[in-house]
A and B are shown apart, each in its own frame.
Chain A
Amino acid sequence: MPRVRVLVTLKPTLLDAQGRTVQEALHALGYQNVNQVRIGKVIEMDIADETQPIEAQVREMCDRLLANPVTELYEIEVLE
Protein backbone atom coordinates (compact mmCIF):
# COMPACT_ATOMS: atom_id res chain seq x y z
CA MET A 1 0.00 0.00 0.00
CA PRO A 2 1.64 3.26 -1.07
CA ARG A 3 2.47 5.75 1.61
CA VAL A 4 2.17 9.40 0.73
CA ARG A 5 3.83 12.37 2.34
CA VAL A 6 2.43 15.87 1.94
CA LEU A 7 4.59 18.84 2.82
CA VAL A 8 2.61 22.00 3.53
CA THR A 9 4.46 25.31 3.76
CA LEU A 10 3.46 28.95 4.17
CA LYS A 11 3.70 30.94 0.97
CA PRO A 12 7.07 32.74 0.79
CA THR A 13 5.30 36.11 0.59
CA LEU A 14 3.79 35.58 4.06
CA LEU A 15 5.60 36.45 7.23
CA ASP A 16 6.23 33.21 9.15
CA ALA A 17 6.07 34.44 12.73
CA GLN A 18 6.92 30.98 14.10
CA GLY A 19 9.91 30.62 11.79
CA ARG A 20 11.18 34.05 12.76
CA THR A 21 10.95 33.25 16.45
CA VAL A 22 12.74 29.91 16.03
CA GLN A 23 15.42 31.68 14.03
CA GLU A 24 15.94 34.15 16.86
CA ALA A 25 16.27 31.22 19.27
CA LEU A 26 18.85 29.58 16.99
CA HIS A 27 20.78 32.86 16.92
CA ALA A 28 20.64 32.94 20.71
CA LEU A 29 22.19 29.46 20.73
CA GLY A 30 25.07 30.78 18.67
CA TYR A 31 24.00 29.68 15.18
CA GLN A 32 24.43 33.15 13.73
CA ASN A 33 24.72 31.81 10.18
CA VAL A 34 21.04 30.69 10.09
CA ASN A 35 18.56 32.69 8.01
CA GLN A 36 15.12 32.37 6.43
CA VAL A 37 13.77 29.77 8.88
CA ARG A 38 10.32 28.67 7.72
CA ILE A 39 8.07 26.18 9.46
CA GLY A 40 5.57 23.93 7.73
CA LYS A 41 3.87 20.65 8.43
CA VAL A 42 4.15 17.08 7.25
CA ILE A 43 1.08 14.90 6.71
CA GLU A 44 1.62 11.20 5.99
CA MET A 45 -1.01 8.68 4.95
CA ASP A 46 -1.53 5.24 3.46
CA ILE A 47 -3.78 5.09 0.42
CA ALA A 48 -5.48 1.81 -0.35
CA ASP A 49 -7.49 2.65 -3.43
CA GLU A 50 -5.26 2.43 -6.47
CA THR A 51 -8.01 2.66 -9.05
CA GLN A 52 -7.19 6.33 -9.53
CA PRO A 53 -3.75 7.87 -9.85
CA ILE A 54 -2.54 8.50 -6.32
CA GLU A 55 -1.04 11.88 -7.00
CA ALA A 56 -4.32 13.19 -8.44
CA GLN A 57 -6.25 11.92 -5.42
CA VAL A 58 -3.88 13.57 -2.98
CA ARG A 59 -3.85 16.79 -4.97
CA GLU A 60 -7.61 16.94 -4.61
CA MET A 61 -7.33 16.32 -0.87
CA CYS A 62 -4.82 19.14 -0.60
CA ASP A 63 -6.97 21.56 -2.56
CA ARG A 64 -10.07 20.74 -0.53
CA LEU A 65 -8.74 20.28 2.97
CA LEU A 66 -5.06 19.68 3.69
CA ALA A 67 -3.77 23.08 2.54
CA ASN A 68 -5.32 26.53 2.34
CA PRO A 69 -4.59 27.91 -1.14
CA VAL A 70 -4.74 31.47 0.20
CA THR A 71 -1.78 31.04 2.54
CA GLU A 72 -0.07 27.74 1.82
CA LEU A 73 1.78 25.71 -0.81
CA TYR A 74 2.07 21.94 -0.84
CA GLU A 75 4.28 19.23 -2.27
CA ILE A 76 3.31 15.60 -2.66
CA GLU A 77 5.77 12.76 -2.36
CA VAL A 78 4.76 9.13 -2.96
CA LEU A 79 6.91 6.87 -0.77
CA GLU A 80 7.14 3.25 -1.88
Chain B
Amino acid sequence: MRFGVVVFPGSNCDADAYYAIRDVLRQPVEYIWHQEDNLHGVDCVILPGGFSYGDYLRCGAIARFSPVMQAVEKFAGQGGLVLGICNGFQILCEAHLLPGALVRNEGLRFVCKHVYLRVENTETPFTNRCLRGEVLRIPVAHGEGRYVCDRETLQELQANDQIIFRYCDSTGALTKESNPNGSLANIAGIANERFNVMGMMPHPERACEPLLGSEDGLKIFESIVHSALAVAR
Protein backbone atom coordinates (compact mmCIF):
# COMPACT_ATOMS: atom_id res chain seq x y z
CA MET B 1 0.00 0.00 0.00
CA ARG B 2 1.69 3.20 -1.17
CA PHE B 3 0.57 6.52 0.18
CA GLY B 4 1.10 9.97 -1.28
CA VAL B 5 0.86 13.11 0.85
CA VAL B 6 0.10 16.21 -1.23
CA VAL B 7 1.99 19.36 -0.28
CA PHE B 8 0.44 22.73 -1.08
CA PRO B 9 2.07 26.04 -0.23
CA GLY B 10 0.72 26.54 3.29
CA SER B 11 0.18 22.85 4.16
CA ASN B 12 1.41 22.32 7.70
CA CYS B 13 0.28 18.80 8.64
CA ASP B 14 1.99 17.11 5.70
CA ALA B 15 5.03 16.07 7.75
CA ASP B 16 2.78 14.72 10.54
CA ALA B 17 0.83 12.57 8.06
CA TYR B 18 4.08 11.41 6.43
CA TYR B 19 5.52 10.49 9.83
CA ALA B 20 2.38 8.65 10.96
CA ILE B 21 2.34 6.56 7.78
CA ARG B 22 6.07 5.86 7.53
CA ASP B 23 7.11 5.49 11.17
CA VAL B 24 3.97 4.30 12.92
CA LEU B 25 1.97 2.53 10.23
CA ARG B 26 5.22 1.41 8.52
CA GLN B 27 3.95 1.79 4.97
CA PRO B 28 5.71 3.41 1.99
CA VAL B 29 4.85 7.06 1.58
CA GLU B 30 6.04 10.00 -0.50
CA TYR B 31 5.30 13.68 -0.85
CA ILE B 32 3.55 14.97 -3.97
CA TRP B 33 4.10 18.64 -4.78
CA HIS B 34 1.03 20.69 -5.73
CA GLN B 35 2.41 21.53 -9.17
CA GLU B 36 2.76 17.91 -10.22
CA ASP B 37 0.15 16.51 -12.50
CA ASN B 38 0.65 12.84 -11.75
CA LEU B 39 0.32 10.91 -8.50
CA HIS B 40 3.37 8.63 -8.84
CA GLY B 41 1.14 5.55 -8.92
CA VAL B 42 0.22 5.70 -5.22
CA ASP B 43 -2.75 3.72 -3.89
CA CYS B 44 -4.05 6.37 -1.50
CA VAL B 45 -3.74 10.15 -1.61
CA ILE B 46 -3.78 12.20 1.59
CA LEU B 47 -4.72 15.89 1.40
CA PRO B 48 -3.25 17.18 4.66
CA GLY B 49 -4.23 19.96 7.00
CA GLY B 50 -2.91 23.49 6.87
CA PHE B 51 -3.72 26.75 5.17
CA SER B 52 -3.21 26.05 1.48
CA TYR B 53 -2.58 29.26 -0.47
CA GLY B 54 -3.06 31.21 2.74
CA ASP B 55 -6.76 30.28 2.89
CA TYR B 56 -7.25 33.22 0.51
CA LEU B 57 -10.76 33.80 -0.86
CA ARG B 58 -12.13 30.69 0.93
CA CYS B 59 -10.38 27.73 2.54
CA GLY B 60 -9.45 25.31 -0.24
CA ALA B 61 -10.81 27.49 -3.05
CA ILE B 62 -7.44 28.13 -4.72
CA ALA B 63 -5.93 24.69 -4.00
CA ARG B 64 -8.82 23.12 -5.83
CA PHE B 65 -7.48 24.43 -9.16
CA SER B 66 -3.84 23.37 -8.65
CA PRO B 67 -2.39 20.86 -11.16
CA VAL B 68 -2.23 18.10 -8.55
CA MET B 69 -5.95 18.42 -7.83
CA GLN B 70 -6.78 17.80 -11.48
CA ALA B 71 -4.90 14.50 -11.06
CA VAL B 72 -6.65 13.80 -7.73
CA GLU B 73 -10.07 14.36 -9.32
CA LYS B 74 -9.22 11.90 -12.08
CA PHE B 75 -7.83 9.41 -9.54
CA ALA B 76 -10.98 9.69 -7.40
CA GLY B 77 -13.14 9.23 -10.50
CA GLN B 78 -11.34 5.94 -11.13
CA GLY B 79 -12.11 4.77 -7.59
CA GLY B 80 -8.74 5.69 -6.02
CA LEU B 81 -8.71 6.30 -2.26
CA VAL B 82 -8.53 9.94 -1.19
CA LEU B 83 -8.51 11.10 2.43
CA GLY B 84 -8.82 14.83 3.13
CA ILE B 85 -7.95 15.97 6.63
CA CYS B 86 -9.03 19.42 7.87
CA ASN B 87 -7.89 21.75 5.06
CA GLY B 88 -7.93 18.64 2.87
CA PHE B 89 -11.65 18.21 3.68
CA GLN B 90 -12.24 21.86 2.75
CA ILE B 91 -10.43 21.32 -0.56
CA LEU B 92 -12.48 18.19 -1.36
CA CYS B 93 -15.70 20.16 -0.79
CA GLU B 94 -14.48 23.04 -2.96
CA ALA B 95 -13.56 20.52 -5.66
CA HIS B 96 -17.09 19.04 -5.46
CA LEU B 97 -15.62 15.63 -4.70
CA LEU B 98 -17.68 15.85 -1.51
CA PRO B 99 -20.99 17.70 -1.06
CA GLY B 100 -21.52 20.70 1.21
CA ALA B 101 -19.05 23.25 2.55
CA LEU B 102 -17.08 24.20 5.67
CA VAL B 103 -17.61 27.68 7.05
CA ARG B 104 -16.50 29.78 10.01
CA ASN B 105 -16.93 28.09 13.41
CA GLU B 106 -20.11 29.11 15.17
CA GLY B 107 -18.17 30.54 18.12
CA LEU B 108 -15.66 32.27 15.78
CA ARG B 109 -12.79 30.82 17.78
CA PHE B 110 -10.06 28.66 16.39
CA VAL B 111 -10.75 25.40 18.23
CA CYS B 112 -7.73 23.26 19.07
CA LYS B 113 -8.47 20.34 21.40
CA HIS B 114 -9.22 16.63 21.59
CA VAL B 115 -12.79 15.74 20.70
CA TYR B 116 -14.80 12.54 20.64
CA LEU B 117 -16.09 11.10 17.39
CA ARG B 118 -18.69 8.42 16.93
CA VAL B 119 -18.08 6.06 14.03
CA GLU B 120 -21.34 5.97 12.08
CA ASN B 121 -20.38 3.68 9.20
CA THR B 122 -17.73 0.96 9.30
CA GLU B 123 -18.35 -0.38 5.79
CA THR B 124 -15.83 1.99 4.26
CA PRO B 125 -12.14 1.75 3.31
CA PHE B 126 -11.43 4.32 6.02
CA THR B 127 -13.27 2.80 8.98
CA ASN B 128 -13.35 -0.99 8.49
CA ARG B 129 -11.09 -1.49 11.54
CA CYS B 130 -13.55 0.40 13.77
CA LEU B 131 -16.73 -0.81 15.37
CA ARG B 132 -20.05 0.80 14.56
CA GLY B 133 -20.82 3.32 17.30
CA GLU B 134 -17.24 3.19 18.57
CA VAL B 135 -16.04 6.45 20.12
CA LEU B 136 -12.65 7.73 18.95
CA ARG B 137 -10.66 10.47 20.66
CA ILE B 138 -8.91 12.61 18.05
CA PRO B 139 -7.90 16.31 18.09
CA VAL B 140 -9.37 19.09 15.97
CA ALA B 141 -7.56 22.31 15.09
CA HIS B 142 -9.54 24.65 12.86
CA GLY B 143 -11.28 28.00 12.59
CA GLU B 144 -13.54 27.06 9.70
CA GLY B 145 -14.89 23.59 10.30
CA ARG B 146 -18.62 24.08 10.57
CA TYR B 147 -20.10 21.67 8.06
CA VAL B 148 -23.13 22.97 6.19
CA CYS B 149 -25.24 21.71 3.30
CA ASP B 150 -28.80 22.07 2.10
CA ARG B 151 -31.63 19.91 3.37
CA GLU B 152 -31.75 17.58 0.36
CA THR B 153 -28.02 16.93 0.60
CA LEU B 154 -28.31 16.13 4.30
CA GLN B 155 -31.13 13.70 3.57
CA GLU B 156 -29.01 12.01 0.89
CA LEU B 157 -26.01 11.79 3.22
CA GLN B 158 -28.18 10.15 5.86
CA ALA B 159 -30.00 7.83 3.47
CA ASN B 160 -26.73 6.60 1.93
CA ASP B 161 -24.87 6.31 5.25
CA GLN B 162 -22.29 8.82 3.98
CA ILE B 163 -21.90 10.48 7.37
CA ILE B 164 -18.87 8.65 8.71
CA PHE B 165 -18.06 10.55 11.93
CA ARG B 166 -20.14 12.71 14.25
CA TYR B 167 -18.97 14.77 17.20
CA CYS B 168 -20.17 13.19 20.43
CA ASP B 169 -19.40 13.07 24.14
CA SER B 170 -17.23 10.38 25.74
CA THR B 171 -20.20 8.02 25.95
CA GLY B 172 -21.11 8.44 22.28
CA ALA B 173 -24.09 10.73 22.85
CA LEU B 174 -24.57 13.42 20.18
CA THR B 175 -24.85 16.60 22.23
CA LYS B 176 -24.66 20.28 21.40
CA GLU B 177 -21.82 20.70 23.89
CA SER B 178 -19.71 18.08 22.15
CA ASN B 179 -20.00 19.85 18.79
CA PRO B 180 -16.91 22.10 18.67
CA ASN B 181 -17.91 24.28 15.71
CA GLY B 182 -21.66 24.19 15.22
CA SER B 183 -21.56 21.63 12.40
CA LEU B 184 -24.89 20.56 10.97
CA ALA B 185 -26.04 17.29 12.59
CA ASN B 186 -22.71 17.11 14.49
CA ILE B 187 -21.01 16.09 11.25
CA ALA B 188 -17.24 15.65 11.57
CA GLY B 189 -16.56 13.55 8.48
CA ILE B 190 -18.35 12.40 5.34
CA ALA B 191 -17.65 10.21 2.32
CA ASN B 192 -18.80 10.35 -1.29
CA GLU B 193 -21.39 7.94 -2.65
CA ARG B 194 -18.73 5.43 -3.72
CA PHE B 195 -16.97 5.65 -0.35
CA ASN B 196 -13.54 6.06 -1.95
CA VAL B 197 -13.26 9.73 -0.95
CA MET B 198 -13.54 10.82 2.68
CA GLY B 199 -13.07 14.17 4.36
CA MET B 200 -12.83 14.80 8.09
CA MET B 201 -12.03 17.89 10.18
CA PRO B 202 -10.28 16.04 13.07
CA HIS B 203 -6.62 15.04 12.65
CA PRO B 204 -6.08 11.25 12.86
CA GLU B 205 -2.37 11.75 12.09
CA ARG B 206 -2.05 13.59 15.40
CA ALA B 207 -3.46 10.62 17.31
CA CYS B 208 -1.28 7.69 16.30
CA GLU B 209 0.98 7.14 19.33
CA PRO B 210 0.47 6.87 23.09
CA LEU B 211 2.83 9.80 23.55
CA LEU B 212 0.35 12.00 21.69
CA GLY B 213 -2.44 11.12 24.11
CA SER B 214 -4.38 8.86 21.76
CA GLU B 215 -3.77 6.12 19.22
CA ASP B 216 -7.31 6.15 17.87
CA GLY B 217 -6.35 7.90 14.64
CA LEU B 218 -4.23 4.93 13.65
CA LYS B 219 -7.41 2.89 13.14
CA ILE B 220 -8.25 5.04 10.14
CA PHE B 221 -4.86 4.47 8.50
CA GLU B 222 -5.00 0.76 9.39
CA SER B 223 -8.44 0.56 7.78
CA ILE B 224 -7.03 1.97 4.53
CA VAL B 225 -4.26 -0.65 4.49
CA HIS B 226 -6.75 -3.38 5.38
CA SER B 227 -9.10 -2.35 2.57
CA ALA B 228 -6.25 -2.64 0.07
CA LEU B 229 -5.44 -6.14 1.36
CA ALA B 230 -9.09 -7.10 1.07
CA VAL B 231 -9.15 -5.94 -2.55
CA ALA B 232 -5.92 -7.83 -3.27
CA ARG B 233 -7.47 -11.08 -2.02
Contact = CB atoms under 8 A, between A and B. Distances in A.
Interface string B192-206: 000000000000000
B148 A68 contact: no
Given A14-B148, A15-B182, A68 B105 contact: no
Interface in B102-121: 103-108
Contacts of A71: 101, 103, 148
Nearest to B59: A68
Nearest to A15: B106
Contacts of B107: 17
Interface residues of A, number: 11
Given A17-B106, A18-B108, A70-B148, A65 B101 contact: no
Nearest to A16: B104
Given A14-B103, A65-B61, A70 B149 contact: yes
A21 interface: yes
Secondary structure type dominating chain B contacts: loop
B224 to A, nearest CB: 27
Interface in A1-56: 10, 14-15, 17-18, 21
Interface in B61-112: 61, 65, 93-94, 99-101, 103-108
Interface string A56-72: 00000000011010110
Secondary structure type dominating chain A contacts: mixed
B58 interface: yes
B139 to A, nearest CB: 22
Contacts of A14: 103, 148
B57 A66 contact: yes
Interface residues of B, number: 20
Contacts of B182: 15, 17
A68 B149 contact: no
A9 B6 CA distance: 31
A65 B65 CA distance: 9
Contacts of A21: 108
B132 to A, nearest CB: 29
B83 to A, nearest CB: 21
Contacts of B148: 14, 70-71
Nearest to A64: B65
Given A10-B103, A68-B58, 20 more contacts: A14-B103, A17-B105, A17-B146, A17-B182, A18-B104, A18-B108, A21-B108, A65-B57, A65-B61, A65-B65, A66-B57, A68-B94, A68-B101, A70-B93, A70-B99, A70-B100, A70-B148, A70-B149, A71-B103, A71-B148
Interface of B: 57-58, 61, 65, 93-94, 99-101, 103-108, 146, 148-150, 182
Interface of A: 10, 14-15, 17-18, 21, 65-66, 68, 70-71
7 contacts: A14-B103, A15-B182, A17-B106, A17-B182, A65-B61, A68-B58, A70-B149
